[in-house]
Amino acid sequence: MKEFVYNCVSLSEEDFTQGRVLFETWKPVARYAWDAGIAIGRYLRELKNGRLIGVHCPNCGRVLVPPRMFCQDCFVPIDGFVPLQDTGTVVTFSICYIRWDMVRLEHPLIPAVIAIDGASPGMGILHLLGEVKPEDVRIGMRVRAVWKPAEERVGAITDIRYFKPIE
Amino acid sequence: MARNRVAIVGAGMTKFVRRAQETSKELAWEAASKALESCELTLDDIDAVVIGSAPEAFDGVHMKTEYLSDGCGGWGKPVIRGFVGGGTGVLSVIQGWYHVASGIFDTVLVVAEEKMSACQPHPQGAFITIFDNITERALGPNLLWIFALEMNAYMTRYGLSKRDIALVSVKNKRNAADHPAAMLGDPNITVEDVLNSEVLAWPVQRLDVSPVTDGAVAIVMAAEHVARRITNKPVWVEGIGWNLDTAYWTNRDLSYPTYVEEAARMAYKMAGITEPRKQIHIAEPYDPFDYKELHHLEGLLLFDKGKAAEATALGITQRDGDLPVCPSGGLLGVGNPISAAALMKVAEIFWQLRGEAGARQVPGQPKRGIAQAWGDLMQVGTVVVLGV
Protein backbone atom coordinates (compact mmCIF):
# COMPACT_ATOMS: atom_id res chain seq x y z
CA MET A 1 0.00 0.00 0.00
CA LYS A 2 3.04 2.31 0.28
CA GLU A 3 2.51 3.61 -3.24
CA PHE A 4 -0.95 4.84 -2.28
CA VAL A 5 0.32 7.17 0.44
CA TYR A 6 0.62 10.78 -0.76
CA ASN A 7 3.69 12.39 0.72
CA CYS A 8 2.17 15.69 1.84
CA VAL A 9 4.38 18.57 3.02
CA SER A 10 5.05 18.50 6.77
CA LEU A 11 5.68 21.94 8.30
CA SER A 12 7.60 22.74 11.48
CA GLU A 13 6.95 25.45 14.06
CA GLU A 14 9.97 27.35 12.67
CA ASP A 15 8.40 27.47 9.23
CA PHE A 16 5.86 29.84 10.78
CA THR A 17 7.96 31.70 13.33
CA GLN A 18 10.64 32.42 10.73
CA GLY A 19 8.16 33.30 8.00
CA ARG A 20 9.20 30.53 5.59
CA VAL A 21 5.58 29.95 4.59
CA LEU A 22 2.73 32.38 3.98
CA PHE A 23 -0.41 32.21 6.06
CA GLU A 24 -3.50 34.25 6.89
CA THR A 25 -5.08 34.78 10.29
CA TRP A 26 -8.61 35.62 11.39
CA LYS A 27 -10.26 36.27 14.72
CA PRO A 28 -13.93 35.35 14.68
CA VAL A 29 -16.54 37.45 16.48
CA ALA A 30 -19.12 34.92 17.63
CA ARG A 31 -21.56 36.25 20.23
CA TYR A 32 -24.68 34.47 21.39
CA ALA A 33 -27.49 35.08 23.88
CA TRP A 34 -28.95 31.67 24.72
CA ASP A 35 -32.40 31.26 26.20
CA ALA A 36 -32.02 28.95 29.17
CA GLY A 37 -35.32 27.26 28.28
CA ILE A 38 -38.18 25.90 30.37
CA ALA A 39 -36.36 23.37 32.55
CA ILE A 40 -32.86 24.84 32.83
CA GLY A 41 -34.42 28.31 33.27
CA ARG A 42 -36.10 27.04 36.45
CA TYR A 43 -32.87 25.25 37.49
CA LEU A 44 -30.91 28.50 37.26
CA ARG A 45 -33.61 30.45 39.18
CA GLU A 46 -33.38 27.91 42.01
CA LEU A 47 -29.58 28.00 41.95
CA LYS A 48 -29.93 31.75 42.58
CA ASN A 49 -32.06 30.83 45.59
CA GLY A 50 -29.34 28.48 46.80
CA ARG A 51 -31.20 25.27 45.94
CA LEU A 52 -30.63 22.33 43.59
CA ILE A 53 -33.70 20.86 41.87
CA GLY A 54 -34.49 17.90 39.64
CA VAL A 55 -37.53 16.80 37.65
CA HIS A 56 -39.83 13.81 38.01
CA CYS A 57 -40.81 11.53 35.11
CA PRO A 58 -44.38 10.22 35.55
CA ASN A 59 -43.61 7.18 33.40
CA CYS A 60 -40.34 5.72 34.72
CA GLY A 61 -40.65 7.48 38.07
CA ARG A 62 -37.04 8.64 38.06
CA VAL A 63 -35.90 11.98 39.45
CA LEU A 64 -33.56 13.48 36.84
CA VAL A 65 -30.90 16.16 37.15
CA PRO A 66 -30.00 18.42 35.37
CA PRO A 67 -33.70 19.23 34.87
CA ARG A 68 -35.22 18.64 31.44
CA MET A 69 -38.66 19.33 30.02
CA PHE A 70 -39.10 15.71 28.93
CA CYS A 71 -37.66 12.34 29.94
CA GLN A 72 -35.44 11.30 27.02
CA ASP A 73 -35.95 7.59 27.78
CA CYS A 74 -39.77 7.66 27.97
CA PHE A 75 -40.19 10.67 25.63
CA VAL A 76 -43.02 12.06 27.77
CA PRO A 77 -43.22 15.45 29.54
CA ILE A 78 -42.01 15.57 33.13
CA ASP A 79 -44.75 16.24 35.70
CA GLY A 80 -42.96 18.50 38.14
CA PHE A 81 -39.85 19.87 39.78
CA VAL A 82 -38.42 18.12 42.83
CA PRO A 83 -36.21 19.72 45.49
CA LEU A 84 -32.84 17.94 45.90
CA GLN A 85 -30.19 18.09 48.58
CA ASP A 86 -27.00 20.02 47.90
CA THR A 87 -24.95 16.98 48.85
CA GLY A 88 -23.82 14.04 46.77
CA THR A 89 -21.27 11.37 45.92
CA VAL A 90 -18.26 11.59 43.60
CA VAL A 91 -18.90 9.21 40.66
CA THR A 92 -15.65 9.98 38.87
CA PHE A 93 -13.06 12.77 38.85
CA SER A 94 -9.93 14.08 37.16
CA ILE A 95 -7.03 16.24 38.30
CA CYS A 96 -6.48 18.63 35.44
CA TYR A 97 -3.18 20.48 35.05
CA ILE A 98 -3.86 22.21 31.75
CA ARG A 99 -6.16 24.87 30.36
CA TRP A 100 -8.12 24.41 27.14
CA ASP A 101 -5.22 25.98 25.19
CA MET A 102 -2.73 23.52 26.78
CA VAL A 103 -1.19 26.19 29.05
CA ARG A 104 -0.24 24.55 32.36
CA LEU A 105 -2.17 25.54 35.49
CA GLU A 106 -0.35 26.41 38.68
CA HIS A 107 -3.12 24.87 40.76
CA PRO A 108 -4.88 21.91 39.17
CA LEU A 109 -8.66 21.90 38.71
CA ILE A 110 -10.57 18.86 39.97
CA PRO A 111 -13.59 18.31 37.73
CA ALA A 112 -15.96 15.58 38.89
CA VAL A 113 -19.27 13.96 38.13
CA ILE A 114 -21.31 14.18 41.34
CA ALA A 115 -24.43 12.08 41.89
CA ILE A 116 -26.84 14.39 43.72
CA ASP A 117 -28.74 13.20 46.80
CA GLY A 118 -32.49 13.08 46.25
CA ALA A 119 -32.17 12.24 42.55
CA SER A 120 -32.36 8.71 41.16
CA PRO A 121 -29.21 6.54 41.31
CA GLY A 122 -26.53 7.57 38.81
CA MET A 123 -27.97 11.06 38.24
CA GLY A 124 -24.82 13.13 38.22
CA ILE A 125 -23.87 16.65 37.27
CA LEU A 126 -20.49 18.05 36.20
CA HIS A 127 -18.86 20.36 38.73
CA LEU A 128 -15.57 21.07 40.46
CA LEU A 129 -14.19 19.90 43.80
CA GLY A 130 -12.50 22.29 46.23
CA GLU A 131 -11.06 22.48 49.75
CA VAL A 132 -9.47 19.08 49.18
CA LYS A 133 -5.95 17.96 48.28
CA PRO A 134 -5.86 16.27 44.85
CA GLU A 135 -4.30 13.16 46.36
CA ASP A 136 -7.16 12.81 48.87
CA VAL A 137 -9.98 12.70 46.30
CA ARG A 138 -11.67 9.31 45.95
CA ILE A 139 -14.53 7.91 43.92
CA GLY A 140 -17.39 7.42 46.36
CA MET A 141 -16.37 10.44 48.44
CA ARG A 142 -19.28 12.35 49.99
CA VAL A 143 -19.39 16.06 49.11
CA ARG A 144 -21.45 19.18 49.78
CA ALA A 145 -21.98 22.30 47.64
CA VAL A 146 -20.20 25.49 48.67
CA TRP A 147 -22.50 28.33 47.61
CA LYS A 148 -21.62 31.89 46.82
CA PRO A 149 -23.26 34.38 49.22
CA ALA A 150 -26.88 35.20 48.20
CA GLU A 151 -26.02 38.70 47.00
CA GLU A 152 -23.38 37.33 44.59
CA ARG A 153 -25.60 34.65 43.03
CA VAL A 154 -26.81 35.40 39.52
CA GLY A 155 -28.66 32.24 38.44
CA ALA A 156 -25.76 30.22 37.02
CA ILE A 157 -24.10 26.87 37.69
CA THR A 158 -21.19 28.88 39.11
CA ASP A 159 -23.48 30.06 41.96
CA ILE A 160 -22.04 26.87 43.47
CA ARG A 161 -18.32 27.61 43.77
CA TYR A 162 -17.45 23.92 44.08
CA PHE A 163 -18.26 20.85 46.13
CA LYS A 164 -16.15 20.04 49.20
CA PRO A 165 -15.77 16.85 51.21
CA ILE A 166 -18.27 16.30 54.02
CA GLU A 167 -16.31 16.00 57.26
CA MET B 1 -35.08 -6.41 2.16
CA ALA B 2 -33.36 -6.67 -1.20
CA ARG B 3 -30.11 -4.81 -1.38
CA ASN B 4 -27.00 -4.85 -3.51
CA ARG B 5 -23.80 -6.35 -2.21
CA VAL B 6 -21.16 -3.63 -1.73
CA ALA B 7 -17.37 -3.89 -1.86
CA ILE B 8 -14.44 -1.65 -1.12
CA VAL B 9 -12.18 -1.75 -4.19
CA GLY B 10 -9.54 0.90 -3.53
CA ALA B 11 -7.93 3.01 -0.81
CA GLY B 12 -5.40 5.81 -0.52
CA MET B 13 -4.27 8.34 2.03
CA THR B 14 -1.91 11.20 2.77
CA LYS B 15 0.84 11.01 5.31
CA PHE B 16 -0.40 12.06 8.73
CA VAL B 17 1.53 15.13 9.96
CA ARG B 18 1.38 17.68 12.78
CA ARG B 19 0.95 20.49 10.30
CA ALA B 20 0.57 20.13 6.56
CA GLN B 21 1.39 22.93 4.16
CA GLU B 22 -1.56 21.80 2.03
CA THR B 23 -5.01 23.28 2.59
CA SER B 24 -7.87 21.01 3.65
CA LYS B 25 -9.07 20.85 0.08
CA GLU B 26 -5.60 19.95 -1.20
CA LEU B 27 -5.24 17.17 1.37
CA ALA B 28 -8.65 15.81 0.35
CA TRP B 29 -7.54 15.75 -3.29
CA GLU B 30 -4.26 13.99 -2.47
CA ALA B 31 -6.08 11.15 -0.70
CA ALA B 32 -8.89 10.95 -3.27
CA SER B 33 -6.46 10.79 -6.19
CA LYS B 34 -4.47 8.01 -4.49
CA ALA B 35 -7.64 6.00 -3.85
CA LEU B 36 -8.69 6.29 -7.48
CA GLU B 37 -5.17 5.43 -8.66
CA SER B 38 -5.16 2.33 -6.42
CA CYS B 39 -8.08 0.81 -8.37
CA GLU B 40 -7.22 2.39 -11.73
CA LEU B 41 -10.36 4.50 -11.93
CA THR B 42 -10.85 8.15 -12.81
CA LEU B 43 -13.39 10.58 -11.42
CA ASP B 44 -15.57 9.93 -14.47
CA ASP B 45 -16.13 6.41 -13.14
CA ILE B 46 -17.53 7.72 -9.84
CA ASP B 47 -21.30 8.18 -9.45
CA ALA B 48 -21.45 9.95 -6.08
CA VAL B 49 -19.23 11.33 -3.33
CA VAL B 50 -19.45 11.01 0.46
CA ILE B 51 -17.41 13.45 2.56
CA GLY B 52 -16.43 12.86 6.16
CA SER B 53 -15.09 15.77 8.17
CA ALA B 54 -15.42 16.87 11.79
CA PRO B 55 -16.36 20.32 13.10
CA GLU B 56 -16.20 23.43 10.95
CA ALA B 57 -14.45 25.05 13.92
CA PHE B 58 -11.12 23.36 13.05
CA ASP B 59 -11.00 25.14 9.71
CA GLY B 60 -12.92 28.28 10.61
CA VAL B 61 -14.75 27.69 7.34
CA HIS B 62 -18.51 27.30 7.54
CA MET B 63 -20.28 24.98 5.07
CA LYS B 64 -17.17 22.83 4.98
CA THR B 65 -18.89 20.26 2.75
CA GLU B 66 -19.08 22.78 -0.04
CA TYR B 67 -15.54 24.02 0.64
CA LEU B 68 -14.10 20.48 0.52
CA SER B 69 -16.25 19.19 -2.34
CA ASP B 70 -13.85 20.03 -5.18
CA GLY B 71 -10.96 18.29 -3.46
CA CYS B 72 -13.19 15.28 -2.85
CA GLY B 73 -14.19 15.03 -6.51
CA GLY B 74 -17.70 16.22 -5.74
CA TRP B 75 -18.14 18.84 -8.43
CA GLY B 76 -21.18 18.09 -10.60
CA LYS B 77 -22.06 14.97 -8.59
CA PRO B 78 -24.43 14.02 -5.76
CA VAL B 79 -22.50 14.85 -2.57
CA ILE B 80 -23.35 14.25 1.08
CA ARG B 81 -21.51 14.82 4.35
CA GLY B 82 -22.54 13.20 7.60
CA PHE B 83 -21.14 14.25 10.92
CA VAL B 84 -21.02 12.42 14.26
CA GLY B 85 -17.80 13.85 15.71
CA GLY B 86 -15.06 11.26 16.02
CA GLY B 87 -17.43 8.60 14.70
CA THR B 88 -17.61 10.36 11.34
CA GLY B 89 -14.96 8.40 9.44
CA VAL B 90 -16.76 5.09 9.87
CA LEU B 91 -20.17 6.74 9.40
CA SER B 92 -18.96 7.93 5.98
CA VAL B 93 -18.39 4.28 5.00
CA ILE B 94 -21.87 3.43 6.26
CA GLN B 95 -23.26 6.24 4.11
CA GLY B 96 -21.21 5.03 1.14
CA TRP B 97 -22.62 1.56 1.75
CA TYR B 98 -26.28 2.58 1.62
CA HIS B 99 -25.68 4.77 -1.40
CA VAL B 100 -24.64 1.62 -3.28
CA ALA B 101 -26.71 -1.03 -1.44
CA SER B 102 -29.87 0.92 -2.26
CA GLY B 103 -29.12 0.54 -5.96
CA ILE B 104 -29.04 4.30 -6.51
CA PHE B 105 -25.31 4.37 -7.35
CA ASP B 106 -22.79 1.81 -8.62
CA THR B 107 -19.63 3.59 -7.46
CA VAL B 108 -18.99 5.98 -4.57
CA LEU B 109 -15.84 7.83 -3.57
CA VAL B 110 -15.64 8.29 0.21
CA VAL B 111 -13.20 10.97 1.39
CA ALA B 112 -12.47 11.85 5.02
CA GLU B 113 -10.31 14.87 5.72
CA GLU B 114 -9.21 16.74 8.80
CA LYS B 115 -6.84 19.66 9.15
CA MET B 116 -6.79 20.45 12.85
CA SER B 117 -3.66 22.59 12.91
CA ALA B 118 -5.25 25.81 11.66
CA CYS B 119 -7.21 26.28 14.87
CA GLN B 120 -5.26 28.61 17.20
CA PRO B 121 -3.79 28.66 19.75
CA HIS B 122 -4.74 24.97 20.13
CA PRO B 123 -7.43 22.89 18.37
CA GLN B 124 -8.71 21.81 21.78
CA GLY B 125 -10.45 25.19 21.71
CA ALA B 126 -12.79 23.86 19.03
CA PHE B 127 -14.03 21.24 21.49
CA ILE B 128 -15.07 23.55 24.33
CA THR B 129 -18.42 24.10 22.65
CA ILE B 130 -19.34 20.41 22.83
CA PHE B 131 -20.09 20.89 26.54
CA ASP B 132 -23.57 22.05 27.55
CA ASN B 133 -23.66 25.76 26.86
CA ILE B 134 -25.43 26.69 30.10
CA THR B 135 -24.78 24.07 32.77
CA GLU B 136 -21.21 23.00 31.92
CA ARG B 137 -19.28 25.53 29.86
CA ALA B 138 -19.21 28.08 32.68
CA LEU B 139 -17.08 25.63 34.70
CA GLY B 140 -14.17 26.08 32.27
CA PRO B 141 -14.02 22.56 30.85
CA ASN B 142 -11.62 21.26 28.22
CA LEU B 143 -11.83 18.17 26.05
CA LEU B 144 -9.49 16.11 28.22
CA TRP B 145 -11.96 16.27 31.11
CA ILE B 146 -14.45 13.89 29.59
CA PHE B 147 -11.75 11.35 28.72
CA ALA B 148 -10.10 11.65 32.11
CA LEU B 149 -13.45 11.25 33.89
CA GLU B 150 -14.37 8.25 31.75
CA MET B 151 -10.92 6.66 32.09
CA ASN B 152 -11.02 7.01 35.87
CA ALA B 153 -14.52 5.48 35.99
CA TYR B 154 -13.33 2.57 33.82
CA MET B 155 -10.11 1.95 35.78
CA THR B 156 -11.87 2.13 39.13
CA ARG B 157 -14.73 -0.17 38.11
CA TYR B 158 -12.38 -2.95 37.03
CA GLY B 159 -9.42 -2.26 39.30
CA LEU B 160 -7.03 -1.52 36.43
CA SER B 161 -3.72 0.29 36.84
CA LYS B 162 -2.14 2.95 34.64
CA ARG B 163 0.46 0.32 33.71
CA ASP B 164 -2.22 -2.10 32.46
CA ILE B 165 -3.55 0.59 30.17
CA ALA B 166 -0.18 2.02 29.03
CA LEU B 167 0.52 -1.30 27.29
CA VAL B 168 -1.99 -0.29 24.62
CA SER B 169 -0.11 2.90 23.84
CA VAL B 170 3.17 0.99 23.62
CA LYS B 171 1.69 -1.65 21.30
CA ASN B 172 0.10 0.86 18.95
CA LYS B 173 3.05 3.25 18.72
CA ARG B 174 5.32 0.26 18.01
CA ASN B 175 2.92 -1.05 15.36
CA ALA B 176 2.89 2.38 13.72
CA ALA B 177 6.63 2.21 13.16
CA ASP B 178 5.75 -0.03 10.18
CA HIS B 179 3.13 2.33 8.72
CA PRO B 180 4.44 4.52 5.89
CA ALA B 181 1.97 7.32 6.72
CA ALA B 182 2.51 7.31 10.49
CA MET B 183 3.39 10.35 12.56
CA LEU B 184 4.26 8.79 15.92
CA GLY B 185 5.63 5.35 15.18
CA ASP B 186 8.30 4.35 17.70
CA PRO B 187 9.72 0.81 17.75
CA ASN B 188 11.54 1.42 21.03
CA ILE B 189 8.87 3.03 23.22
CA THR B 190 8.37 1.45 26.64
CA VAL B 191 5.71 1.39 29.33
CA GLU B 192 7.99 3.55 31.48
CA ASP B 193 8.00 6.23 28.77
CA VAL B 194 4.21 6.38 28.94
CA LEU B 195 4.07 6.33 32.73
CA ASN B 196 6.72 9.05 32.98
CA SER B 197 5.16 11.38 30.41
CA GLU B 198 3.67 14.71 31.46
CA VAL B 199 0.40 14.49 33.40
CA LEU B 200 -2.27 16.44 31.51
CA ALA B 201 -5.53 15.60 33.28
CA TRP B 202 -4.97 12.67 35.61
CA PRO B 203 -5.28 9.78 34.81
CA VAL B 204 -4.48 11.00 31.28
CA GLN B 205 -0.79 11.59 30.55
CA ARG B 206 0.81 12.89 27.36
CA LEU B 207 1.53 9.45 25.86
CA ASP B 208 -1.93 8.11 26.74
CA VAL B 209 -3.42 10.43 24.12
CA SER B 210 -3.21 10.70 20.34
CA PRO B 211 -1.79 13.87 18.80
CA VAL B 212 -3.26 16.79 16.88
CA THR B 213 -2.90 15.77 13.22
CA ASP B 214 -3.56 16.86 9.64
CA GLY B 215 -4.40 14.25 7.02
CA ALA B 216 -6.90 12.66 4.67
CA VAL B 217 -7.97 9.15 3.64
CA ALA B 218 -10.19 7.97 0.78
CA ILE B 219 -11.75 4.69 -0.34
CA VAL B 220 -13.74 3.64 -3.40
CA MET B 221 -16.89 1.55 -2.90
CA ALA B 222 -18.71 -0.32 -5.67
CA ALA B 223 -21.71 -2.55 -6.32
CA GLU B 224 -20.85 -6.23 -6.82
CA HIS B 225 -21.24 -6.33 -10.61
CA VAL B 226 -18.92 -3.32 -10.97
CA ALA B 227 -16.52 -4.35 -8.19
CA ARG B 228 -15.76 -7.67 -9.90
CA ARG B 229 -14.74 -5.81 -13.05
CA ILE B 230 -12.50 -3.41 -11.10
CA THR B 231 -10.59 -5.93 -9.00
CA ASN B 232 -10.17 -9.63 -8.35
CA LYS B 233 -9.78 -8.85 -4.64
CA PRO B 234 -12.93 -7.00 -3.56
CA VAL B 235 -13.38 -6.58 0.20
CA TRP B 236 -17.06 -6.89 1.07
CA VAL B 237 -18.99 -4.78 3.53
CA GLU B 238 -20.70 -7.54 5.49
CA GLY B 239 -22.23 -5.50 8.28
CA ILE B 240 -22.78 -1.94 9.41
CA GLY B 241 -24.10 -0.49 12.65
CA TRP B 242 -24.37 2.78 14.44
CA ASN B 243 -25.95 3.97 17.66
CA LEU B 244 -26.22 7.13 19.74
CA ASP B 245 -26.55 7.36 23.52
CA THR B 246 -28.05 10.27 25.48
CA ALA B 247 -26.24 13.61 25.61
CA TYR B 248 -26.89 13.68 29.39
CA TRP B 249 -23.49 12.08 29.79
CA THR B 250 -23.24 12.74 33.54
CA ASN B 251 -26.25 10.46 33.98
CA ARG B 252 -24.62 7.46 32.28
CA ASP B 253 -22.40 4.61 33.47
CA LEU B 254 -19.15 5.78 31.90
CA SER B 255 -17.34 2.50 32.52
CA TYR B 256 -19.08 0.74 29.61
CA PRO B 257 -19.95 2.00 26.10
CA THR B 258 -23.44 0.55 25.65
CA TYR B 259 -23.87 2.45 22.39
CA VAL B 260 -20.83 0.64 20.92
CA GLU B 261 -22.38 -2.70 21.88
CA GLU B 262 -25.67 -1.72 20.22
CA ALA B 263 -23.83 -0.66 17.06
CA ALA B 264 -21.81 -3.88 17.06
CA ARG B 265 -24.90 -6.05 17.55
CA MET B 266 -26.54 -4.35 14.57
CA ALA B 267 -23.48 -5.01 12.40
CA TYR B 268 -23.02 -8.61 13.64
CA LYS B 269 -26.67 -9.43 12.94
CA MET B 270 -26.38 -8.14 9.40
CA ALA B 271 -23.12 -10.04 8.86
CA GLY B 272 -24.57 -13.24 10.32
CA ILE B 273 -21.98 -13.21 13.09
CA THR B 274 -23.11 -15.13 16.16
CA GLU B 275 -19.73 -15.66 17.83
CA PRO B 276 -17.70 -12.50 17.24
CA ARG B 277 -14.70 -13.81 19.21
CA LYS B 278 -14.32 -16.67 16.73
CA GLN B 279 -15.57 -14.97 13.60
CA ILE B 280 -13.68 -11.65 13.82
CA HIS B 281 -10.00 -12.16 12.96
CA ILE B 282 -8.67 -8.62 13.19
CA ALA B 283 -9.94 -5.43 14.85
CA GLU B 284 -9.36 -1.71 14.53
CA PRO B 285 -11.28 -0.19 17.45
CA TYR B 286 -11.07 3.57 17.97
CA ASP B 287 -8.05 4.46 20.13
CA PRO B 288 -7.75 8.24 20.59
CA PHE B 289 -6.69 7.35 24.16
CA ASP B 290 -5.13 4.06 25.22
CA TYR B 291 -7.98 3.07 27.57
CA LYS B 292 -10.47 3.64 24.73
CA GLU B 293 -9.11 0.65 22.81
CA LEU B 294 -9.90 -1.57 25.80
CA HIS B 295 -13.25 0.09 26.43
CA HIS B 296 -14.24 -0.42 22.79
CA LEU B 297 -12.98 -4.02 22.54
CA GLU B 298 -15.37 -4.80 25.39
CA GLY B 299 -18.20 -2.84 23.78
CA LEU B 300 -17.60 -4.81 20.56
CA LEU B 301 -18.11 -8.00 22.64
CA LEU B 302 -14.60 -9.22 21.72
CA PHE B 303 -13.62 -9.46 25.40
CA ASP B 304 -15.56 -9.67 28.65
CA LYS B 305 -16.13 -6.44 30.54
CA GLY B 306 -12.92 -5.36 32.27
CA LYS B 307 -10.87 -8.15 30.63
CA ALA B 308 -9.38 -6.45 27.56
CA ALA B 309 -6.39 -5.18 29.57
CA GLU B 310 -5.50 -8.72 30.64
CA ALA B 311 -5.71 -9.88 27.02
CA THR B 312 -3.38 -7.04 26.05
CA ALA B 313 -0.86 -8.03 28.72
CA LEU B 314 -0.96 -11.62 27.43
CA GLY B 315 -0.12 -10.44 23.91
CA ILE B 316 -3.42 -11.59 22.42
CA THR B 317 -3.89 -8.20 20.73
CA GLN B 318 -0.40 -8.05 19.23
CA ARG B 319 -0.08 -8.37 15.46
CA ASP B 320 0.90 -12.03 15.86
CA GLY B 321 -1.63 -12.67 18.64
CA ASP B 322 -4.96 -14.49 18.42
CA LEU B 323 -6.81 -11.23 17.79
CA PRO B 324 -4.56 -8.54 16.28
CA VAL B 325 -5.87 -5.15 17.42
CA CYS B 326 -4.89 -1.89 15.73
CA PRO B 327 -2.17 -3.48 13.57
CA SER B 328 -2.04 -0.14 11.75
CA GLY B 329 -0.74 1.59 14.85
CA GLY B 330 -4.08 3.28 15.40
CA LEU B 331 -4.68 6.86 16.33
CA LEU B 332 -2.03 6.65 19.04
CA GLY B 333 0.64 5.76 16.51
CA VAL B 334 -0.42 6.75 13.00
CA GLY B 335 -2.09 9.95 14.19
CA ASN B 336 -5.55 11.35 14.80
CA PRO B 337 -6.93 13.63 12.09
CA ILE B 338 -10.40 12.95 13.51
CA SER B 339 -12.59 11.69 10.66
CA ALA B 340 -9.62 10.65 8.51
CA ALA B 341 -8.21 8.58 11.38
CA ALA B 342 -11.37 6.47 11.53
CA LEU B 343 -11.36 5.95 7.75
CA MET B 344 -7.69 4.98 8.04
CA LYS B 345 -8.89 2.09 10.24
CA VAL B 346 -11.28 0.92 7.53
CA ALA B 347 -8.47 1.22 4.95
CA GLU B 348 -6.20 -0.84 7.22
CA ILE B 349 -8.73 -3.68 7.39
CA PHE B 350 -9.05 -3.44 3.58
CA TRP B 351 -5.27 -3.77 3.12
CA GLN B 352 -4.95 -6.51 5.74
CA LEU B 353 -7.72 -8.66 4.24
CA ARG B 354 -6.12 -8.29 0.79
CA GLY B 355 -2.71 -9.22 2.18
CA GLU B 356 -1.29 -5.84 1.14
CA ALA B 357 -0.31 -4.42 4.52
CA GLY B 358 3.41 -4.92 3.96
CA ALA B 359 5.47 -4.98 7.15
CA ARG B 360 2.24 -4.68 9.14
CA GLN B 361 0.61 -7.74 7.60
CA VAL B 362 -0.87 -9.98 10.28
CA PRO B 363 -0.18 -13.70 9.84
CA GLY B 364 -2.81 -16.33 9.04
CA GLN B 365 -4.65 -14.67 6.14
CA PRO B 366 -7.49 -13.02 8.08
CA LYS B 367 -10.88 -13.33 6.43
CA ARG B 368 -12.95 -10.91 8.45
CA GLY B 369 -12.23 -7.67 10.29
CA ILE B 370 -14.02 -4.95 12.18
CA ALA B 371 -13.42 -1.19 12.31
CA GLN B 372 -15.11 1.02 14.87
CA ALA B 373 -15.15 4.71 15.66
CA TRP B 374 -16.56 6.74 18.49
CA GLY B 375 -17.34 10.34 19.12
CA ASP B 376 -19.69 13.19 19.91
CA LEU B 377 -20.08 13.66 23.68
CA MET B 378 -18.88 10.10 24.46
CA GLN B 379 -22.09 8.87 22.94
CA VAL B 380 -21.80 7.55 19.38
CA GLY B 381 -20.58 4.19 18.12
CA THR B 382 -20.07 3.46 14.41
CA VAL B 383 -19.10 -0.02 13.21
CA VAL B 384 -18.22 -1.67 9.91
CA VAL B 385 -17.53 -5.41 9.41
CA LEU B 386 -15.50 -6.26 6.30
CA GLY B 387 -14.79 -9.69 4.85
CA VAL B 388 -13.26 -11.54 1.91
Give residue B336's domain range.
6-120+211-387
Within an 8 Å CB–CB cutoff, is residue B188 touching chain A? no
The mean pLDDT value for B228-246 works out to 97
User: What is the structure's pLDDT at B283?
Assistant: 98
> Do the chains contact at B14 and A5, CB–CB below 8 Å?
yes
Q: Flag whether A91 is in a domain.
A: yes
A35 within a domain of the structure (yes/no): yes
pLDDT tens, residue by residue, A35-79: 999 999 999 999 999 999 999 999 999 999 999 999 999 999 999
B352 falls within a domain: yes
Assess if residue B335 is contained within a domain. Answer: yes
pLDDT at position B51: 98
Residue B130 lies in a domain: no
CB atoms A96 and B148 under 8 Å: yes
Query: Which CATH number does the domain housing residue B229 bear?
Result: 3.40.47.10
- Rounded Cα distance between B242 and B262, Å, is 7
CA distance B11 to chain A (A): 7
DSSP state for residue B189 in the 8-state scheme: -
Look at residue A150 and tell me if it is in a domain: yes
Q: Contact, B369 vs B349, CB < 8 A?
A: yes
Contact list, B15 vs chain A (CB under 8 Å): 5-8, 10
User: Mean pLDDT throughout A102-117?
Assistant: 95
Write phi, then psi, for B116 (nearest 5 degrees).
Answer: -85, -20
Which residue among B22, B141, B180 sits closest to A8, beta carbon to beta carbon?
A: B22
Q: What is the pLDDT of residue A29?
A: 87
Q: What are the pLDDT digits (tens) for B169-199?
A: 999 999 999 999 999 999 999 999 999 999 9
State chain A's maximal CA–CA distance in angstroms: 68
Cα–Cα nearest to B19, from A14, A2, A101, A26:
A14
- Which of B50-64, B162-176, B274-288 is predicted least confidently? B50-64
Number of domains in chain A: 1
How would you class B50 by CB atoms within 10 Å of its CB: exposed for 0-12, middle for 13-18, buried for 19 or more?
Answer: buried
The predicted-structure confidence for B300-331, as pLDDT tens digits, reads as follows 999 999 999 999 999 999 999 999 999 999 99
Contact criterion met (CB below 8 Å) for B169 and B332: yes
Per-residue pLDDT averaged across B333-355, rounded? 97
Residues 133-152 of A with CB under 8 A from B: 134, 139
pLDDT value of residue A101: 86
The length of chain B is: 388
Residue B194 lies in a domain: no
Quick check: B5 pLDDT over 70? yes
What is the predicted pLDDT for the residue at B1?
Answer: 54
pLDDT given for residue A102 in this prediction: 86
Three-state SS at B385: strand
Question: Which value does ipTM take for this structure?
Answer: 0.93
Distance CA B345, CA A16 (A): 31
The answer to whether position A1 is within a domain reads no
Query: CA B282, CA B195: separation in Å to the nearest integer?
Result: 28
Tell me the percentage of chain B whose pLDDT exceeds 90. Answer: 91
Is residue A149 situated within a structural domain?
yes
- Identify whether B142 is part of a domain: no
The mean of the pLDDT values for chain B is 96
pLDDT(B17) > 60: yes
Task: Give the Cα-Cα-Cα angle A105, A108, A112 (nearest 5 degrees).
Answer: 135
Task: Determine the average pLDDT of the residues in B217-228.
Answer: 98
- For the residues B137-166, what does the mean pLDDT come to? 96
Burial grade of A161 (CB within 10 A; 0-12, 13-18, 19 or more): middle
- B149–A92 C-beta distance less than 8 A: yes
Cβ separation B145–A36 shorter than 8 A: no
pLDDT at residue A30 greater than cutoff 90: no
- Identify the CA nearest to A1 among candidates B10, B175, B388: B10
Q: What is the pLDDT of residue A167?
A: 79
pLDDT tens-digit readout, B116-127: 999 998 888 888
> How many angstroms away from the CA of A148 is the closest CA of chain B?
14
pLDDT mean across residues, chain A: 96
Residue B354 has pLDDT above 70, yes or no: yes
Task: Specify the pTM.
Answer: 0.96
C-beta atoms of B356 and A1 within 8 A: yes
Which residues from B are below 8 Å from A111, CB to CB?
Answer: 139, 141, 145, 148-149
**B10 has a pLDDT exceeding 80:** yes
Q: How many distinct structural domains can be found in chain B?
A: 1
pLDDT number for residue B2: 64
The whole domain housing A42 covers 11-165
